[in-house]
Amino acid sequence: MFSYCIEPDALATFQWLTCYLTTGVHFSFYLSFLNVLGILAVTAPIALSFGFFGAIAARSQIVPLSLLGKGYIAVVRGVPDIAFFLFFVIALDQGFEWLRHQALCPNWTDPIRQGNDFLVCPRAKLPLGTAPQTVHQLYAYGLAIITFALVFGAFAANVIFGAMLAVPKAQLETAEAYGMSQHQIFWRILVPQMWIYALPGLSNLWQILIKATPLLFLLGIEDVVYWARELGGTKTARFTSFPHGDWRMWYFLALLIFYLFMTWSSEKFLKKIMQKLTKGQDMAGTAMSTTRDFS
């Protein structure tokens, strides 16, 4: 990046570091932090949506829908995250390719399962072999986001389902007595009140989601953990210009600081939201107790 970086062996320590930290692979490392933030920004609302509709299904009076919602919560929460990630990404990828195979190659006669191999026609591959590298990366990120959303959506559904049960039934019964429909009771009474009870659990879930992003490394995505391991390890021929010993401790220390800052700032932000949502709750409790005293 700098003109004096042509001969790294002749540089002083500070100049050597400026050259070393501005190589192309280091910019990939810096970009991976933005990738983590981007995945969090996309995954969180999707997971919350899965959780919300999963909770609605779980509390439904329709038995098959209720079983579906409760089954989704129980199955995903009962499987270790790593096992679910490694299984579901492969299953989802093969599921997409199988559907494309059925649609695009109806005359294919060879079996798809051949021993341990899963072989579909070339047109059904995802992404196509001729697709640019960017498409392959976006597809991998898409699979990761769906998997993250499903896993943490199940936990969010459990939190939201419990929060819905925590809303005082007296409020719902009062709304019904005033002639409100079940749809109005749900959206005007239950859902606004539910968030007050759900936010502490969702806040903890958000912190867990942040700390779970290193699982991207298991999915073959070049995330912060991948680059910290690659750049921190003893340099090989790939980094002949800047040889050094095992610096992984320092790179992982940078990751530790990054994640600590993320969880700390998230805690501060969520605390303010909680204070805003619960504003007036103590006053409401005092008013209710005063009313009981006068009665």
Domain with 250 in it: what CATH number?
1.10.3720.10
Domain range for 98: 3-294
For residues 216 and 252, the model is more confident at 252
pLDDT tops 50 at residue 147: yes
* pTM of the shown model: 0.79
Is-contact 77 154, C-beta < 8 A?
yes
CA 18 to chain centre: 34
**pLDDT tens profile 96-140:** 888 888 888 888 888 888 777 788 888 888 887 777 888 888 888
The Cα angle at residue 12 between residues 33 and 246, in degrees rounded to 5: 50
**pLDDT at residue 260, as a whole number:** 92
**pLDDT tens profile 244-257:** 777 888 888 998 99
Q: In the chain, how many domains are there?
A: 1
